[in-house]
Structure 1
């Protein structure tokens, strides 16, 4: 049995139970979804492990095969410590470093042996195209996108379990992919999604923490305090290596990453500027039995997308008010 805070309790297949116990999946318990988020706000603390198990259960609920459930469980297994912060540190604009090392992480683990013992080929993990419930390119809906939106917004207090049930009841599968049953549900979810990828991802405190941590990781790699192999440790393990280095440049940045920083978004007077890759959503919605893009039948979604696109283009400009608000 496995219990998830937003989906409930389920009996899962033995292969999934054994995969959950592998070292790469257990490592994700110490890898936070939001990178530096938990360092500047301890309540922003959802982990890649929670998301991976949740995405697996969501695929199961949507009628996905056991193979797709396996791929869902493992889809984030190669995320590094502090997740996408490493992409900023390496100046990787596609934010896909974890995808670049995915095959290597799988191949060098016990995962292929577990799969083989249960009659599955490891190759099912290396091609995402067949798994249309789990993963679809933007602007489409998929289980990965739905889970991290619902999970983060639930933990951060934007919605409750009744809201989650509403969304789950209003998602269906059409031609193998996720779609909303009503325009209303599509509008509500799209609005929620932008609370996630705009309001939360681009929150000035989030931007501050990830900016500082990316500089810290860059310095750690450049000065050989940490190695690329260390990136596959947990967040706190990497943090400890950096802290114990005693390197003055690293220590200076470390001291600026904590929950008492005060920052504001300021378009005119700012200390730094950050941009994220655009994450625009235009989910399918069932109208008269046929799937259509939501923006083609909803003016609200069209407006939400235009507003989000403007924000992604503009980026976020952050001014530091105080490195420690307790100074006041």
Structure 2
């Protein structure tokens, strides 16, 4: 079955490739190809450097009557929340039933046990569900490659802007949906919950020939951290706070702080450089560290922390 699936998804495959992918010997592949042929599967081999095995006449097996929508939804079968957001909850459920019914009894039991013991919850802790009433319309435009005209609420001024864009893909990040789209030749990212209203146009969307969603999103996250963390603060940290930094800061901040850390002093305290967005945003973050950290620079941040600490001291002394 694994060989048959490989042949169906590739135009041609060599015995060496099959052996490597399935971790068997080439001799075993030759034997299995003969078994497929004997079972009536129209597989044949082409000799030579450019040769290999292929299926005759576009032969395909049909997995228990999957519809086009069900086939499209296969990648969402492990994400019930995401499927429901996209309006595909019922489709995914039907897909799972058909796939399960096509499995042999032993594999069906294993899959059932796995589903009963593992659950994926993609939303982050202590955050409200990101309401995105326009998600279904955006998803429909993405599926059918239709341009969008929308009004969007952004952080910068002017806050409300109008955009006509070419949707390229959807991303679910920590329970929040994002639209990746091309605008005036540039690829941009939009948080779908901040779309005020939209209209799907009867125009075909244009996708850059070299665009790849996963690669773009990885680069976007890296550039987002660089743009967000433009300032830095110098702190002294106790051993306990230094070890527990992942509980207080995101991975990019923790990595930069640890790379900058000096040697511990006689009491184990270290001097580190902490990337920050701004002094205002850094105040609550540093206050969470309590007496396990001391701000050395910038002076504005040190004074702000001192003011808050003094005010808290006066409250508790009273």
Q: TM-score range by the shorter chain?
A: under 0.3
Q: Normalized per residue, which structure has more strand?
A: 2
Largest Rg, 1 or 2 = 2
Give the TM-score normalised by the residue count of structure 2: 0.23
Give the TM-score normalised by the residue count of structure 1: 0.22
Higher RCO (Cα < 8 Å, 6 or more apart) = 1
